[in-house]
Structure formats: C-alpha cells, structure tokens
Chains A and B, each alone.
Chain A
Amino acid sequence: MISQLPSVIAVEWLKRKRCPALWLVLLAACFVPAIVLAARLRPSTPLAAIHASTKYWQSLWNTSWEATAILILPLVIMLVASLLAQIEFRNNTWKQLNASPVPAATVWLAKLIVFLAVILLFFIAINAAIVGVAFMPSVVYSNVAFPSAPLPWQMFFEHSVNYMFSALPIVLLQFSLSLLFRNFVVSIAIGGAIWILSIGALSWEHVYLLPYSHLPLDYLIGAGSMSKRQFPMEIGVATYAYAAIFATVGFLAFKYRSDRG
C-alpha cells in the first residue's frame, strides 16, 4: 500500500488539472484581502496612521480572517470536497478505479492528501494576499511608508497551523460525505446544516460539541473575542476526537460500500 502511495498521489494531483477547485480556492483566499485592499486604497483612508500602528499586523490578520474563518473557509472546504469527488462521479470512473490493483486504503489516503494540499494552498494564498494588502498601498502611493512593524512570520505560521487543525473535522466529514454520495447536494446540505447550527450556537458553552464550530472558535479566541476558559473542556481535544472519528468512519464506509461502481 505504502509503496504505491506516492504514484497514486501524483495521479490524483494530475486529475485535478483543469478542475475549478484550484481557482475557487485562490479566489476565495483573496476575497477578503482584496476588499481590505480596495478600502485602504481609497484616498480618504488614513494610511500613514494605520501603517505606523504597532499592532498593524495583528489588526490586518484579524480583519482578513474574521469572515474567512467563520464563513468563507468552511464553504470552500465543502465546495472543494464536492468538486474533487465529483471528478469520479461525473466521469463514471469509480468502477475503473475500483477495478485497478490499488487498494481502497491507498485511493482514500491519496485523495485525502490531495484535498488537504488544495486546502493548504488556500492558507498559502491568503497569507500571501494579506502580505500583499500590507505592501500594495506603499507601492501605489509613493508618499505612504511601508508598515513600520516587522512582518510577524511566526504569528502567521502558528495561526495558520492552528486554523488548519481546527478545520480538520470539517475537512474529514465533508471529504467522507463527498465520496459516499453521488449527489453532491447531499454532502453540501449536510455540511451546510451543521455549519449553520454551529454558527448559531457560538455563544453556547458546549458549542465545541458541534464539529464545525472549532474553526470559528479558534479564530474568535485568537482575536480575543472569546476566552478558552468559558468552555468546560479543551476544544483541541474535541477537534482531534472528531477528526479521528470522521476519518475512521469515513474510510470504513468507503472501503466497505456495497457498490463500487
């Protein structure tokens, strides 16, 4: 199984060629930073004062991630999971893939790795876009200095890694649902319902029981809008528990489904 994995990942990556998933990820990642940039390029914006702030980067990060963590990234995960799984359903290729000598575990793992790689691309793109938002005004307006605070690479990296782990329950459940249901509306509807429920229950002390709440919670705690202490248990534990459950159940459902094409 392991010996085949690199080549199966390579062909899974080849498969997403000309698939709109990558464009969707890039556009979604740049969406909020682009709005922030447009706002900052307005002549009335006090750019000099903003760029001189000592909390410049934290503020820019929070502005860029607020809507992204709560709204955009969960939606992107749902849509990308469906788009990637639909490559097989739409082309009627599950049967050919399942009649190949590659074990189901390898196929499942390779698909998951490619999906995670596409989501990783989202994080790389949004980080690049945020840096672009910081420097573009100084490029456009020669009289505006670059932000005085140094670029906090470590903070960007740590927050990104945290968000990525917080998003794992969404990633794994959407991935599993997308592989199980031929009709993509089913997986998006289930994911959408859990997500709406999670957002609606954010003020509930046991909201961490809803697996799609972890990403918004991670952002809100990082931004100082919420405190870890208001929850009776460590959210990270729930995150890993859900991720493990969704991965295990998802894989077993994929491996033992009665009809393989």
Chain B
Amino acid sequence: MLAIETQHLSHRFARDVYALENINLAVPRGSIYGFLGPNGAGKTTTLRLLLGLLPTQTGTIHVLGESMTRNRAGILDRIGSSIETPSLYGHLTAVENLRFWQKIYRCEPRRIPEVLEIVGLGDTGKKLAGAFSLGMRQRLAIAITLLHDPPLLILDEPTNGLDPHGIIEIRDLLLRLNRDHGTTILLSSHLLSEIERITTHLGIIHRGKLLFQGDVSELNTLKGQQSVAMRTNRVGDAQAIARRLNLETIAEDRALNLKNCADAQTAAFLRELALAHIDVYEVRRERLDLETVFLDLVGAQA
C-alpha cells in the first residue's frame, strides 16, 4: 500500500523548461521516505504539487489512496506539512500559533500542550514566535504538523538551521512517530547524513528527474557493488593481475582500490594474488556513504 503515488508527474514554470519530468514517486505506508537532492533539484516543487500549492499540469497524484484532484480538502485534513521556511505568525506566541491551527484542524485543545512538550517548547510562555531562534521556529513548525495527529507528514528540510542536538532530537522524534504511531513521513533534505540515518526508503532527484527510488537495502546493494580496497606489498603486480581480470583499479602507494567489483570477482582476484605469492595485508569492502552514491548517480546522469 502506498501513502503517496505520483504517475508521470511533470511540471513546467516556463515554456519548454521542465522543473519536474516524469516523476513516479512511490512512498509506502509506514515508511520514512527520504527525498534527496541538491538545491534546485525539484524537491520543493514536488512537495508543493503533492499539497496542491501548485496546479497539476501533467500526471496524477494519489495521496492516502485518494486522488488529489478529487478530494484535496479531505486529503489535506490527514496531512501535516511544513514547506521550506517555517510558516509561523511572528506576532503570536507559540500557544497562539497552535491555537490557530487547532481550530483550523478542529482537534482537541489538549493537543496544544502535548505537541509543545513533544518538540520541547513547553516553556516559551509569552515569547513571540518572531523572537524565536531558527531552531525553535523549526520545532514549532513541526509541532503544528503534529497537532491533528496525521497519518502522513510531509516535511521539507525540517532540520534546517538546527544545532546538532536539535537535529538528533528531531530525528528521534520522527523515528518515534513512525515507530509508535505508524506515521508515514516524507522528508526532503540535502543533508545526506540525515537522510541516511533515519529513512527506510529513498528517492534521489536531480534536475527534475528521479534518479533512484527504493528501500534502503536496495541502496545498500548498490553501495555493495561499488568497490574493494586492499593493502598489499606489490601494488604494481597486483594491478597487472587486476587488469588481466578486466578489473578497474586505482593504485595509491601500498593500497589498491578495485572499482565496481562484485563478490565473485573479488574472490577470483584474491586467488590469483595468492598464486602469484603476493602478500595481502587487508581487504575490505569500501563503505561508500550516500553522498558518494548520490554523486555517482548524478555524475552518471550528467
């Protein structure tokens, strides 16, 4: 079951210039879906389309099993969203901001202190939201999204401007919501480390095109196929053997790196090294981080 499904979603701001091209987003229910891409990749445009803030030009959008064009208000009633910078009334206090949305979403007034406590803003008193730090504003924006206990959260860069402690808190909060309430979370970010740590599924977008979509294990497989690093006493000889086996290598001092080397190729290479009496001190599968994978995907697309 998908919480969000788009089919052939495209959007143009100017004639013939596509901000999004044929985006087929599939966000499973109960997942934390990381929507990753550099600035200007089309993340916010996609999220704005999902929320009906931009008119759908091409393609279809289904959210929580319903068509966005047919039941926009009904769908939005079940979504908590925060797009780009926090949308807060700076001349109102945190409680007054929440009271505003509590009436809009027609939820219980008791939710106001509850969500303030959840995001750690329970003691802001009469301080106006305009005087909040960016981190506090982000937390209040998240509190607003949680107010009506929605089954789906759409958060655009929610850890922007937060200090490391704040980032950890928000990350824990999102994990807790997902685990305890089954809340589906669509999370956009360009902070690659953040996406990697909490998401179960990933979508990587670049220049309006979805380059990768799948669960984290698929990405791990992709990572696993990347490279093998080893230390040896005869780098030159080892490199010659690698070339004979059609393996792409990078040699550095006493280290050799085999690019795009599958498990079977690694085993065959090691057997050859042993037969040639080449000493191997260390062999390890390179733990490529998401940033490297992302850059590889972007590079391949370019």
Interface of A toward B, CB cutoff 8 Å: 7-8, 10-11, 14-15, 17-19, 87, 90-93, 95-103, 258-261
Known: A7-B104, A14-B96, A17-B96. A91 touches B88 (CB 8 A): yes
Residues of B within 8 A of A18 (CB): 91-92, 128
The answer to whether B54 touches A258, judged by C-beta atoms less than 8 angstroms apart, is yes
Q: Does B179 contact A (CB under 8 A)?
A: no
From the candidates A11, A90, A99, name the one contacting B76 in the complex (CB within 8 A): A99
Interface of B toward A, CB cutoff 8 Å: 48, 51-55, 73-74, 76-77, 79, 81-85, 87-92, 96, 99-101, 103-106, 128, 144
CA distance A95 to B88 in the complex (A): 11
From the candidates A102, A259, A260, name the one contacting B104 in the complex (CB within 8 A): A102
Residues of A within 8 A of B83 (CB): 95-96, 99, 261
From the candidates B54, B90, B101, B105, name the one contacting A90 in the complex (CB within 8 A): B90
Given contact pairs A93-B88, A96-B83, A96-B87, a sample of 10 additional A-B residue pairs in the complex whose CB atoms are under 8 Å apart:
A15-B89, A91-B89, A96-B144, A99-B52, A99-B53, A99-B76, A99-B81, A100-B104, A101-B104, A261-B53
Among residues of A, the one whose C-beta sits closest to the C-beta of B80 is A99
CA distance A57 to B262 in the complex (A): 97
In the complex, what's the smallest C-beta–C-beta distance from B50 to chain A, in angstroms?
9
The answer to whether A99 touches B51, judged by C-beta atoms less than 8 angstroms apart, is yes
Can you report 29 A-B residue pairs in the complex whose CB atoms are below 8 A from each other? A7-B106, A8-B103, A8-B104, A11-B100, A14-B96, A17-B92, A17-B96, A18-B91, A18-B92, A18-B128, A19-B91, A87-B89, A90-B90, A92-B85, A92-B87, A95-B48, A95-B53, A96-B87, A96-B144, A99-B51, A99-B52, A100-B101, A100-B104, A101-B76, A101-B77, A101-B105, A102-B73, A260-B53, A261-B53
Among residues of B, the one whose C-beta sits closest to the C-beta of A12 is B100
Residues of B within 8 A of A11 (CB): 99-100, 103-104
The answer to whether B92 touches A100, judged by C-beta atoms less than 8 angstroms apart, is no
CA distance A91 to B132 in the complex (A): 13
From the candidates B73, B85, B90, B100, name the one contacting A101 in the complex (CB within 8 A): B73
Residues of B within 8 A of A99 (CB): 51-53, 76, 79, 81, 83
Q: Closest 5 CB pairs between A and B? A: A96-B87, A101-B77, A99-B51, A101-B76, A93-B87
CA distance A7 to B104 in the complex (A): 7
CA distance A260 to B76 in the complex (A): 14
CA distance A232 to B94 in the complex (A): 57
CA distance A92 to B90 in the complex (A): 10
Residues of B within 8 A of A15 (CB): 89, 92, 100
CA distance A10 to B85 in the complex (A): 26
CA distance A173 to B128 in the complex (A): 32
The answer to whether A259 touches B54, judged by C-beta atoms less than 8 angstroms apart, is yes
CA distance A44 to B51 in the complex (A): 68
Among residues of A, the one whose C-beta sits closest to the C-beta of B104 is A100
The answer to whether B89 touches A7, judged by C-beta atoms less than 8 angstroms apart, is no
Among residues of B, the one whose C-beta sits closest to the C-beta of A100 is B104
Known: A10-B103, A11-B100. A91 touches B76 (CB 8 A): no
The answer to whether B87 touches A101, judged by C-beta atoms less than 8 angstroms apart, is no
In the complex, what's the smallest C-beta–C-beta distance from A24 to chain B, in angstroms?
15
Residues of B within 8 A of A90 (CB): 90
CA distance A91 to B128 in the complex (A): 13
CA distance A11 to B84 in the complex (A): 23
Residues of B within 8 A of A259 (CB): 53-54
Residues of A within 8 A of B101 (CB): 100
In the complex, what's the smallest C-beta–C-beta distance from B217 to chain A, in angstroms?
32
In the complex, what's the smallest C-beta–C-beta distance from A92 to chain B, in angstroms?
6
Among residues of A, the one whose C-beta sits closest to the C-beta of B100 is A11
In the complex, what's the smallest C-beta–C-beta distance from A233 to chain B, in angstroms?
41
Residues of B within 8 A of A91 (CB): 87-90
Residues of B within 8 A of A97 (CB): 87
Among residues of B, the one whose C-beta sits closest to the C-beta of A16 is B91
Residues of A within 8 A of B104 (CB): 7-8, 11, 100-102
Among residues of B, the one whose C-beta sits closest to the C-beta of A257 is B55
